[in-house]
Amino acid sequence: VTSQRDRVQLTLFQLDNYGPWTVTPAPRRETDLQALQARVYASVADFVGRDDGYAFFDRFDNMIAVTNGIDEAAHATFQEWVRTQFPVTVSAGIGTGDTPVDALEHATQAIQAAGSAQSATRTEVLAREGTQKTSGELTVVHFDVVDATGTYTDRVSAGDAGIIIKRAAVELDAHLQRTHGAIANFVGGDNIIAICPPLTDTVVDDVRETILEETGVELQAGIGTGETAHEAGYRAKIALEECRETGDRVHRAAYAEH
């Protein structure tokens, strides 16, 4: 199922000069900013989703997307659209690499090379770093918390539940980045989606164990591979459903499970 040629393309979307804008001429209302950020993110999700990519809100002023197969012209059309829908503009750094961590580093460098995130003169950057070849398989691992509703949502305070799940997400991301070149993002509820290089089932199980030890949270994982984030991620979701039904803690979608 895995291959030496696995490659990933990530785009880092960054709101231009956003921090200063939020306090000019006076601090804007916090809820207005929250609404704006969420709608810009929803738009990024729509943009990449249409071409089978994935999007993560990350820090909202910096958003990460898997954009295998989405070219610069499409990014430029999106930037033009943003400019007419929102009071802010967006820069895009595109990076490719053998692992998601490499690709994100390249995407970040592409955007950093063009100027500061808080520069008033750096606007709508569209830059790429890394080789252009983006064929090959992606691996997506979709994690969730074993019986999150019964254990947390319906039982403990929303405050405790939030800490538990968000801590598991951040420590999973840290562990995967450091150890496997993968990146993981909290995507709501008790779900965490990791974009990975090829990983064996045993490695994924070890990752689960590490997070259980570090945070006390038990995760289960569905693994999927495919040509696009959507294809791999859809299979990972199917595999995760399998975990929910069978009690397995790791399940890999058979390649045929479209």
Within 173-212, the residues that bind its own copies by CB under 8 A are 173-174, 177, 183, 187-190, 193
Instruction: Check residue 104 for interaction with its own copies (CB under 8 A).
Output: yes
- In angstroms, rounded to a whole number, what is the distance separating the alpha carbons of residues 125 and 110? 9
Residues in region 111-140 near its own copies by CB under 8 A: 112, 116-118
Which residue's CB is nearer to its own copies, number 202 or number 247? 247
Q: Which of 2, 3, 38, 205 binds its own copies (CB under 8 A)?
A: 38
Nearer to its own copies, 37 or 68 (CB): 37
Kindly state the smallest distance separating residue 55's Cβ from its own copies, in Å. Answer: 6
CA separation (Å) from 232 to 1, 102, 117? 12, 19, 32
> What separation in angstroms does the CA of 169 have from each of 32, 102, 103, 164, 202?
27, 20, 20, 9, 20
Provide, rounded to whole angstroms, the least separation between the CB of residue 206 and its own copies. 20
Q: How far is the CB of 193 from its own copies (least distance, A)?
A: 7
101 touching its own copies, by CB under 8 A: yes
Is residue 37 part of the contact set for its own copies (CB under 8 A)? yes
Q: How far is the CB of 177 from its own copies (least distance, A)?
A: 5
Question: Which span sits near its own copies by CB under 8 A: 20-28, 125-133, 201-209, 246-254?
Answer: 20-28
Q: How many CB atoms lie within 10 A of CB 249?
A: 17
Which tokens in the block code for residue 156? 């403990």
